[in-house]
Amino acid sequence: MGTTRNRQIEILFSGEPSFRARQAQEALFSPVFRSWDDVSSLPKSLRERLTDAIPWNRFVPVSVLGNARRDTWKALLQAEDGARIEAVLMRNSRGQFTVCVSTQVGCAMGCAFCATGRLGMTRNLAADEIVDQVRFFREYVTDNSLDGEVTNVVLMGMGEPLANYEEVREALLVLVGPMSVGPTRITVSTVGILPGLGRLLDDPEWPPVRLAISLHCADEERRRKMMPSTAPGFLDELARWSDAYTKAFPEKRRHLTLEYVMLSGVNDTDRDLRNLAKLARRMGRVRVNLIPYNATGSGFVGSPFETISRFRDGLAREGVTVTVRKSLGGDIAAACGQLAGKTVRKEEES
Ligand code: SF4
């Protein structure tokens, strides 16, 4: 792991009373400050040292693009080394905001239907960089009078979270700690990296956040064509892991979600429905979330509305708890699978 910002502050303030470092660390999560210079409880000399040494946010916004309905905003953010990632802010009908964060620059998983997968992988994001996407949008909501607050965080942007396990865990601990986001309001979405899934079962530091498995096909061979990261025996292993997960975390709120993007003629036949229902029943305490597909230039076509409805009703008849995701942000390429780090239009600029 890289040097965290907290550690940098401690090093910078060595020789100062310890409460000074704490003041600086806490200031980062205050809703009122926008720079080190605003933290007037710190002496001016310390504020100047912080300003020179530690950026207030690990990212500089290149652009923020909002859609016409004003329920989705996509930010192109640039890190200190020039790497660019995207983060997305979404508002639900109750006026609550969810931030979708990236966990890597690009992604090595190569899912055939995903724009990020075509970029390849550049590097992992540090925990501070994951957290700073949420901090950026929290400030954005207030500064643009968007009326509401960020209550939820999903790790569903660019990258595979469990391929960046330590930094993601560190970021989650900050989100549930100093940032006060409830653990059940945080969802980590993974293609199902089996070593990572196994590891979190025995990890006392992994916070009780929600998990979503990007399944997308319950036939192993065909899933491998869509998602080349699919390990041999994946579906059997997933069912076994799910059993262990349910035993380790019996609380109802720790249910698993199976994400299933609906692709016309690829994974939306009656046979696919039966395979999915069978796997869901085998896994036990799961919910299926059907996702309408957003164009990514991959050649895949989303299933029509009638097919999605048929899938939903069929799964419900089989006793599976199922929802259909309301897809936000498709009009600004901010929806699932569309993030590619190249937002260019500057409709709203920070
Ligand atoms: S869907 Fe997720 S895991 Fe797959 S390539 Fe895209 S970002 Fe990576």
Cα–Cα dist 344/350, whole Å: 14
- What long-range pairs does 16-21 form, CB within 8 A, spacing at least 24? 16/46, 20/46
pLDDT at residue 333, rounded to an integer: 63
Interval between CA 307 and ligand 1 midpoint (Å): 24
Q: Which residues line ligand 1 (CB under 6 A)?
A: 107, 109-111, 114, 116-117, 158-160, 191, 337
Tally Cβ neighbours within 10 Å of residue 280.
26
Torsion angle, CA of 177/83/213/255, rounded to 10 degrees? Answer: 10
247 contacts: CB under 8 Å, gap ≥ 6: none
pLDDT at residue 343, rounded to an integer: 46
pLDDT at residue 336, rounded to an integer: 55
Low-confidence residues in the chain, pLDDT < 50: 1, 343-350
Please report the sign of the dihedral spanned by the C-alpha atoms of residue 90, residue 81, residue 338, residue 290: negative
Q: Please check whether residue 35 is in contact with residue 51, taking contact to mean a CB–CB distance below 8 angstroms.
A: yes
pLDDT at residue 184, rounded to an integer: 95
Question: Token pair 């249910």 is at which residue?
Answer: 255
Q: Please check whether residue 81 is in contact with residue 303, taking contact to mean a CB–CB distance below 8 angstroms.
A: no
pLDDT at residue 250, rounded to an integer: 87
Nearest atom, ligand 1, residue 339 CA: 7
Interval between CA 221 and ligand 1 midpoint (Å): 18
88, 118, 156, 160: residue to mutate for ligand 1 pocket, most atoms within 8 A of CB: 160
Phi/psi region, residue 148 (left: phi>0; alpha: psi -120 to 50; beta: rest), is left
Cα–Cα dist 293/295, whole Å: 7
- State yes or no: is 111 an active-site residue: no
Nearest atom, ligand 1, residue 115 CA: 6
Q: Please check whether residue 72 is in contact with residue 50, taking contact to mean a CB–CB distance below 8 angstroms.
A: no
Domains of the chain: 1-56 (no CATH), 57-332 (3.20.20.70)
- Crossing angle of helices 234-248 and 194-201, in 10° steps, is 10
Cα–Cα dist 258/191, whole Å: 10
Closest protein CA for atom 4 of ligand 1: 111
What is the distance between the terminal CA atoms of the chain, rounded to a whole angstrom?
A: 30
Nearest atom, ligand 1, residue 117 CA: 5
What angle is formed at CA 46 by the lines to CA 42 and CA 50, rounded to 5 degrees? 110
pTM above 0.85, yes or no: yes
pLDDT at residue 344, rounded to an integer: 39
- What long-range pairs does 25-32 form, CB within 8 A, spacing at least 24? 25/178, 26/178, 28/56, 28/135, 28/178, 29/135, 29/178, 29/179, 31/138, 31/142
pLDDT at residue 328, rounded to an integer: 62
Nearest atom, ligand 1, residue 104 CA: 7
Catalytic site residue from 86, 129, 170, 259: 86
pLDDT at residue 341, rounded to an integer: 57
- State yes or no: is 336 an active-site residue: yes
Interval between CA 160 and ligand 1 midpoint (Å): 6
Closest C-alpha to 20, from 52, 43, 2:
43
Burial class (CB in 10 A: 0-12, 13-18, 19+), 80: exposed
